[in-house]
Amino acid sequence: MTQQIGILTAGGDSPGLNAAIRGVGKAAMGHYKMHVIGFRDGFRGLMENRTMSLDGGQLSGILTTGGTILGTSRDKPHRMPVGGKILDMTDAIVGNYHDNHLDCLICLGGGGTLRNALRLKQKGLNVITLPKTIDNDVFGTDITFGFDTALGIATEAIDRLHSTAHSHHRIIVVEIMGHRAGWLALGAGIAGGADVILIPEILYDVASVAEAIRERARGGKPFSIVAVAEGANSLQDLAALDAASKKKSKRKADDTEADAAELIYAGRTLRLAQQLEKLTGLEARLTILGHLQRGGTPSAADRILATRLGTAAADLIAKKHYGVMVAAKGEETRPVKLEAAAGKVKTVPPDHPWVLSARRVGTSFGD
């Protein structure tokens, strides 16, 4: 019997998603003669049985395009907004999986998608995930596709901000995505030569950041680039976060939208720029890179990674090896049990080699 494969993309989009869809599709249909059907807009499309054929040339020309031809959403099977209510639609999803005679469902996504895929595995479905996110915070894999492209975008932005900061003798605070992890800000900060890098994993003190900037000015460099991860916290923020978390202690742990909203305080980085201007006497400006880091064509590295992971997923399906995430391990890929990766976030160890190298070249982490 021809194996029937379903594929969906869920969570925040990222460059490389279409390259991964192409990798899965070409290997499954071309090499293994399987049939692949796309579900639109993440788990919502699977719940509504909204499908997209992928065997009529839809995979041509998508290796280099950003976003996802399937569309995506952050909707979760067990907490799906339906008609103004939040309902558990897992049974509808399980039903559509079987009605489409799927042998396996491939879910391309980050940490939230891993958790949702594990729930479906526990309902008896054959699932495989591919680690996608610009945040690079998926546990169990060396890297996620989307990260390298976003790193390039953020680095180029920092390069551009250097010249205007230098010309105007200013502090430029640049907010970089990454949700609860600092990989993107750390990598772009190093690659772009930021003078200060602030990440969630290293609590910072605004006074220390200001002193580092004043020190540069005393040394004849009255301008600084501060690369700040959107989830980074100052001592003051931590106090506010503690107060907020006491209030919301009843909310379910996996309510990531609400957590993300609380972690990424609106205006937090603008307040940081204003505080630094006051403490240093230098003008300060803020640039928020936002969704620029999620758009456009994937880098060559992400195209290679996404293709490797996608074809490895097809190989696993051919061997009927389900219930795993296809992880990148060095030059290899390795199946990691969903139970081993779901629910965990890969954050930057404060003694990570990247952090140590940055400190060696004089970068301040505000601690």
Using an 8 Å Cβ cutoff, are 285 and 170 in contact? Answer: yes
Would residue 135 show up in a list of annotated catalytic residues for this protein? yes
Rule CB under 6 A: is residue 288 a binding residue for ligand F6P? no
Rule CB under 6 A: is residue 178 a binding residue for ligand F6P? yes
In angstroms, the CA 184 to CA 150 distance is: 7
Rule CB under 6 A: is residue 138 a binding residue for ligand F6P? no
13, 135, 195, 237: which is the annotated catalytic residue?
A: 135
Classify 175 in phi/psi space as left (phi over 0), alpha (psi -120 to 50) or beta: beta
Rule CB under 6 A: is residue 346 a binding residue for ligand F6P? no
Rule CB under 6 A: is residue 179 a binding residue for ligand F6P? yes
DSSP 8-class letter at 233: -
Which run of H or E residues covers position 311? Answer: helix 300-318
Q: Which is nearer to ligand F6P, 147 or 223 (CB)?
A: 147
Binding ligand F6P (rule: CB under 6 A), the pick from 62, 235, 260, 270 is 260
Backbone angles phi, psi at 6, to 5 degrees: -105, 145
In angstroms, the CA 79 to CA 90 distance is: 9
Q: Which is nearer to ligand F6P, 260 or 270 (CB)?
A: 260
Rule CB under 6 A: is residue 26 a binding residue for ligand F6P? no
Contacting range for ligand F6P; rule: CB under 6 A; set: 130-138, 161-169, 198-206, 324-332:
130-138
**Number of amino acids touching ligand F6P (CB under 6 A):** 11
Rule CB under 6 A: is residue 170 a binding residue for ligand F6P? no
Rule CB under 6 A: is residue 12 a binding residue for ligand F6P? yes
Rule CB under 6 A: is residue 133 a binding residue for ligand F6P? yes
Backbone angles phi, psi at 5, to 5 degrees: -115, 135
Rule CB under 6 A: is residue 129 a binding residue for ligand F6P? no
Rule CB under 6 A: is residue 121 a binding residue for ligand F6P? no
Rule CB under 6 A: is residue 148 a binding residue for ligand F6P? no
Considering the complex, what minimum distance in angstroms separates the CB of residue 264 from ligand F6P? 6
In angstroms, the CA 294 to CA 306 distance is: 15
Q: Which is nearer to ligand F6P, 260 or 304 (CB)?
A: 260
Considering the complex, what minimum distance in angstroms separates the CB of residue 207 from ligand F6P? 27
Q: Which pair of tokens denotes residue 289?
A: 């890179």
Considering the complex, what minimum distance in angstroms separates the CB of residue 363 from ligand F6P? 22
Binding ligand F6P (rule: CB under 6 A), the pick from 19, 26, 77, 135 is 135
Nearest to 160 by CA among 46, 292, 317: 292
SS3 328: strand
Rule CB under 6 A: is residue 301 a binding residue for ligand F6P? no
Q: Which pair of tokens denotes residue 176?
A: 């970089």
Using an 8 Å Cβ cutoff, are 304 and 291 in contact? Answer: no
Considering the complex, what minimum distance in angstroms separates the CB of residue 179 from ligand F6P? 4
Using an 8 Å Cβ cutoff, are 200 and 238 in contact? Answer: no
Rule CB under 6 A: is residue 176 a binding residue for ligand F6P? no
Using an 8 Å Cβ cutoff, are 94 and 51 in contact? Answer: no
Side-chain half-sphere CA neighbours of 316 within 13 A = 28
Backbone angles phi, psi at 155, to 5 degrees: -65, -45
Active site residues: 135
- Positions that interact with ligand F6P (CB under 6 A): 12, 110, 133-135, 177-179, 230, 260, 294
